[in-house]
Amino acid sequence: MSEELTKKTEDLSLDSKQESAEKTVFDSKEEFTAKHPLNHRWTLWYTKPQTNKSENWHDLLKPVIAFSSVEEFWGIYNSIPSANQIPLKSDYHLFKEGIRPEWEDEANAKGGKWQHAFLKKEGNPIINDLWLRGLLAVIGETIEDDEDEVNGIVINVRKQVYRIGIWTKDCDESKLRTVGERLKKILQLKDDQRVEFISHNASNQKGAEPQIVL
């Protein structure tokens, strides 16, 4: 599947002649030539489902494509399978360039993740909208103010749930609350629905409790 995603994206033409979906920042796609740069360059990663027990995490995790402008983002987003179309036990990860979506990465090692799990429903299209909202908040850097805590965003496709998580640099609650509060709004959660923060270290411990719940 990673090879398929790469094939779908590697030949993208991101110039002004490319036809795209109605989601765009320009009024005239044909005449628009400038690009809107993002503050950071981002890499989309994909974790394919394990097909045999000899495959480890490093075998399953592959970078798909990198981008640094709004136009490139839309070209990629509109050319890959949506979140509810990727296989069970697979993941999308969008991280700042130079950061691997792994706990061991130096930028992630002292951090953790905010997350919420949505119960899956047959053909549940709303997860695509929520995932897109999360992506835009991360690359647009509206999910935080000046904390500079967010490294990336992940969606996990599992048997019963879709899980969306925001990965952070550290576990300082004073810096993390803004991110958690905004994630809750981005995911359009109700008052009785919770987002939880847990450190990557604690995630390795069976029965570990979240550090923060909002």
The reply to whether 64 falls in a domain is yes
Residue 171 three-state SS: coil
Is the pLDDT confidence value at 164 over 70?
A: yes
Which pLDDT belongs to residue 58? 76
- pLDDT for residue 76 is more than 50: yes
Does residue 163 have a pLDDT over 50? yes
* Integer Cα distance of 144 and 63 in angstroms: 25
How much of the chain, in percent, has pLDDT values that exceed 90?
69
pLDDT on residue 169: 96
**Pairwise CA distance, residues 176 & 111, whole Å:** 10
Residue 182 lies in a domain: no
**183 is a domain residue:** no
In the prediction, which pLDDT does 1 show? 45
Report whether 114 contacts 210 (CB < 8 A). Answer: no
pLDDT at site 56: 75
- Which of 5-19, 23-37, 112-126 is the most confident on average? 112-126
- Give 203's pLDDT tier (boundaries 50, 70, 90): confident
The CA distances from residue 51 to 58, 59, 84, 154, in Å, are: 14, 11, 20, 21
User: Is position 2 within any domain?
Assistant: no
Domain count, the chain: 1
pLDDT tens for each residue of 7-30: 443 443 333 333 333 344 444 444
- Tell whether 61 is covered by a domain: yes
Task: State how far the Cα of 7 lies from the Cα of 30, in Å rounded to an integer.
Answer: 25
Instruction: Say if residue 162's pLDDT is above 90.
Output: yes
196 found inside a domain: no
Q: Does 212 fall in a domain? A: no
Q: Is residue 122 very low, low, confident or very high in pLDDT (cuts 50, 70, 90)?
A: low
Show the domain range for 125.
Answer: 32-110+117-169
Domain with residue 51: its CATH number is 3.30.760.10
The 10s digit of each residue's pLDDT in 179-199 is: 999 999 999 999 999 999 999
Residues 6+ apart with CB under 8 A from 211: 112, 171, 173, 197, 198, 199, 202
Strand partners, 114: 166, 197
- Confirm whether 38 is domain-assigned: yes
> What is the structure's pLDDT at 80?
95
Is pTM beyond 0.85? Reply is: no
Contact 94, 38 (CB under 8 A): no
**Mean pLDDT computed over 67-91:** 95
Encoded tokens for 10 = 């590697």
What would the two tokens of residue 1 be? 């599947």
User: In Å, what is the CA distance from 214 to each residue of 73, 121, 203, 211?
Assistant: 30, 24, 18, 10
Taking residues 102-114, what's their average pLDDT?
95
